[in-house]
A = this chain, B = another copy of it.
Amino acid sequence: MFNQRTKIKALLQTTPIDAKVTVMGWVRTFRNNQFIALNDGSTNLNLQIVVPLGMLGEDILKRITTGASLKIAGTIAKSVGKGQTIELLAENVEILGDCDAEKYPLQPKKHSLEFLREIAHLRFRTNTFGTVFRIRHALAFAIHQFFNERGFIYLHTPIITASDAEGAGEMFRVTTLPFDGTPRNEDGSVNFKEDFFGKSTNLTVSGQLEGELGAMAFSEIYTFGPTFRAENSNTTRHLAEFWMIEPEMAFCDLEDNMNLAEEFIQYIIQYVMKNNADDLAFLDQRLAEEEKQKPANERSEMGLIEKLNFVVNNRFERITYTEAIQILLDSPAYKKKKFKYEVSWGIDMQSEHERYLVEKHFKKPVIVTNYPADIKAFYMRLNDGCEPGKQTVAAMDILAPGIGEIVGGSQREERLEKLLQRMENMHIPVEEMNWYLDTRRFGTVPHAGFGLGFERMVQFVTGMTNIRDVIPFARTPKNCNF
Mark A residues whose CB is within 8 Å of B.
Answer: 1-3, 5, 7, 9, 24-27, 40-42, 67-69, 71, 96-100, 103-104, 106, 121-122, 124-125, 130, 133-134, 136-137, 140-141, 144, 148, 151, 153-163, 170, 172-177, 179-180, 182, 190, 196-199, 201, 203, 210, 213-214, 216-220, 225-226, 228, 230, 232, 240-241, 243, 249-253, 255-256, 259, 414, 435-436, 438-446, 471-473, 475, 477-482
Contacts of A217 in B (CB 8 A): 26, 41, 122, 124-125, 130
Chain B positions within 8 Å of A443 at CB level: 26-27, 67-69, 96-99
- When C-beta atoms are compared, the residue in chain B nearest to A41 turns out to be B218
With A438-B121, A477-B197 as known contacts, state yes or no: A241 contacts B159, CB within 8 Å. yes
Tell whether A172 pairs with B196 under 8 Å between CB atoms, given A154-B140, A217-B124, A446-B2. yes
Q: Can you identify 26 A-B contacts, CB atoms within 8 angstroms?
A: A1-B253, A1-B255, A9-B151, A25-B219, A40-B219, A67-B442, A99-B441, A104-B442, A124-B218, A133-B153, A141-B154, A144-B144, A156-B472, A157-B472, A158-B480, A159-B159, A159-B241, A160-B203, A160-B240, A162-B481, A174-B174, A179-B182, A179-B190, A210-B472, A225-B225, A226-B226
Copies of this chain, count = 2
Known: A96-B444, A159-B226. Contact between A213 and B482, CB under 8 A?
Answer: yes
Contacts known (A41-B219, A162-B480); A157 close to B473, Cβ less than 8 A: yes
Contacts of A444 on B, CB cut-off 8 Å? 69, 96-97
Contacts of A230 in B (CB 8 A): 176, 196
* Chain B residues within 8 Å of A170, by CB: 176
Smallest CB gap from A68: residue in B: B443
Contact B158 A241 (CB under 8 A): yes
Provided the pairs A3-B253, A251-B2 are in contact, do residues A442 and B122 lie with their beta carbons within 8 angstroms? yes
Nearest-neighbour CB distance to chain B for A198, whole angstroms, equals 4
B residues in contact with A173, CB < 8 Å: 173-176
B153/A251 in contact, CB under 8 A: no
Contact present for B442 and A480 (CB under 8 Å): no
Taken together as a complex, chains A and B put the C-alpha atoms of A219 and B97 apart, in Å, by 14
Question: Which residue on B lies nearest to A213, using beta carbons?
Answer: B121
The answer to whether A219 touches B7, judged by C-beta atoms less than 8 angstroms apart, is yes
CA distance A198 to B140 in the complex (A): 31
A473–B213 Cα distance when bound, in Å, is 11
Besides A97-B442, A159-B159, 7 new A-B residue pairs in contact (Cβ under 8 A), listed by A number: A2-B253, A41-B217, A41-B220, A121-B213, A122-B217, A134-B153, A172-B175
Shortest beta-carbon distance from A62 to chain B in Å: 15
Chain B: which residue is nearest A232 at the CB level?
B196
Q: Which residue of the partner chain, among B99, B144, B435, B446, contacts A141 with CB atoms under 8 Å?
A: B144
Question: A242: shortest Cβ distance to chain B, in Å?
Answer: 9
Q: Which residue of B lies closest to A176 (CB)?
A: B230
With a cutoff of 8 Å between Cβ atoms, the chain B residues found around residue A440 in the complex are 97
Contact at A251–B5, with CB atoms within 8 Å? yes
In the complex, which residue of chain B has the Cβ closest to the Cβ of A148? B141
Q: Are B214 and A124 in contact (CB under 8 A)?
A: yes
The answer to whether B40 touches A198, judged by C-beta atoms less than 8 angstroms apart, is no
Of all A-B residue pairs in the complex, the 4 with the closest CB atoms, nearest first, are A124-B217, A41-B218, A97-B444, A197-B480
List, in ascending order, chain B residues with CB within 8 A of A435's CB: 121, 481-482
A442:B99 contact, CB within 8 angstroms:
yes
| Contact partners of A176 in chain B: CB under 8 A | 170, 172-173, 230
Chain B residue contacts of A442, Cβ below 8 A: 67, 97, 99-100, 103-104, 106, 122
Across the two chains, which residue of chain B brings its CB closest to A26? B443
Task: Tell me which of B3, B140, B172 contacts A160 (CB under 8 A).
Answer: B172
With A99-B442, A159-B241 in contact, is A130–B218 under 8 Å at CB? yes
